Amino acid sequence: MIKVLIVDDSALVREAAKQILEQQPGIRVLDTAIDPIHAMERMAKEWPDVIVLDIQMPRMDGITFLRKIMAERPTPVVICSTLVGDGAQAGVDALAAGALSLITKPRAGVANFFEDESDSIVAAVRAAAQTNLARLHQIASQALRPAAPPVVKMIRPAGVSDGRIIALGASTGGTQALETVLTALPPDLPGIVIVQHMPIGFSKKFADRLNHDVRLELREAQNGQRVERGLALVAEAGKQMRLQKNGTGYTVEVIDGPVINRHKPSVDCLFGSVARAAGRNAIGVLMTGMGDDGALGMKEMFDAGAMTVAESEETCVVFGMPRAAVKRGGVREVLPLYRIAEKIRAWAS
């Protein structure tokens, strides 16, 4: 039974969210709280498995509460707020503090919103409940560290990729996993293409923030952009990204295509295109995430002769996507997160 605490200063929101969640088998709403102070009083009696949290509230805001929880007893948190739409800074701050997912709540029509988006809200809560708490503790520790100064970039090697491609896919917990891998990579690798599931408006801010910390050049992908050595391209949230062969090198196609495997961008879409364009000249890495996006695309890469790697259960926040890839038979190696960068470097050399 997943025990959920809803923290929101709107009585309408608390009631609507409670009704949606209590209709689901295996979910029990412990209580609702008008603000974090009330929530802490309730949590002293019984601790929830998942917290659904607003940001703008009296007495204490949601981000402050989130940071307090992550410092004292890391717990899966789903942010549901009007302040996290379209790449808003509050959403960036929430993800950096350890929130697992963001749901943009409208300023009006809340009751209809919870009814229309019930599937995505329930899915976010179920995904959060599957969190590897040991890994969440590590993420919380990372979030509490002071910000490091910007990495001094080397001059990026000139020219297109040498024919080799690195493809990375992740979802829940993936922002921190990608940071771990990319900060450990040198700047002279073959081109990198990345799908990270996130709300519309956040992919550019995510890429810009991570570019501060990595030796590679990291950018949100633009349609028709060349894939070059030392360059990592992140798929735009709300668009599909495919790799295309272009003469002796590659470009990316970024389009407003259909949803694939419930996602846009989809790891399946990217990995399938990498299989077709690069074949055995690629390495694909599938990291933490709920569901099975990427499993089919990774099998296509495997069948095309590519090196394929799945993150192991011990370091995943949620082992769903890597597990699905292993079950489908498309994974050559299963590695913990801290060994993935080493594997990529060895493959590239």
Whole-number mean pLDDT of the chain? Answer: 93
| 109 and 185 within one domain | no
Select from 88, 113, 144 the last residue of a domain: 144
Q: What percent of the chain lies above the pLDDT cut of 90?
A: 79
| 120 and 218 within one domain | no
| 116 and 208 within one domain | no
Residue 173 placed within a domain: yes
Residue 209 placed within a domain: yes
Mean pLDDT of 176-200: 94
What is the C-alpha separation between 13 and 103, in angstroms, rounded? Answer: 13
Which H or E run contains 21?
A: helix 11-22
Residue 151 placed within a domain: no
DSSP letter string over 147-207?
A: PPPPPPPPPPPPSB--S-EEEEEE-TTHHHHHHHHHTTS-TTSPPEEEEE---TT-HHHHH
| 184 and 128 within one domain | no
Could you list the active site residues?
Answer: 171, 197, 293
Burial (0-12, 13-18, 19+ Cβ within 10 Å), 164: middle
CATH code, domain carrying 14? 3.40.50.2300
The pLDDT value given to residue 138: 87
Contacts of residue 257, defined as CB under 8 A and 6 or more positions apart, other chains included, come to 239, 240, 264, 269
pLDDT digits (tens, 9 = 90+) for 207-259: 998 999 999 999 999 999 999 999 999 999 999 999 999 988 999 999 999 99
Select from 144, 178, 213 the last residue of a domain: 144
Domain count, the chain: 2
Select from 81, 115, 144 the last residue of a domain: 144
Instruction: Tell which residue, 220, 139, 137, has the closest CA to residue 176.
Output: 139
pLDDT digits (tens, 9 = 90+) for 91-149: 989 988 899 999 998 888 887 888 888 998 999 999 999 999 999 988 888 776 666 67
- Residue 158's pLDDT band (cuts 50, 70, 90): low
pLDDT digits (tens, 9 = 90+) for 276-288: 999 999 999 999 9
CATH code, domain carrying 169? 3.40.50.180
The pLDDT value given to residue 76: 96
| 175 and 98 within one domain | no
- 347 neighbors 320 (Cβ within 8 angstroms): no
Q: What percent of the chain lies above the pLDDT cut of 70?
A: 95
| 267 and 223 within one domain | yes
pLDDT digits (tens, 9 = 90+) for 306-327: 999 999 999 999 999 999 999 9
Structural domain containing residue 85: 2-144
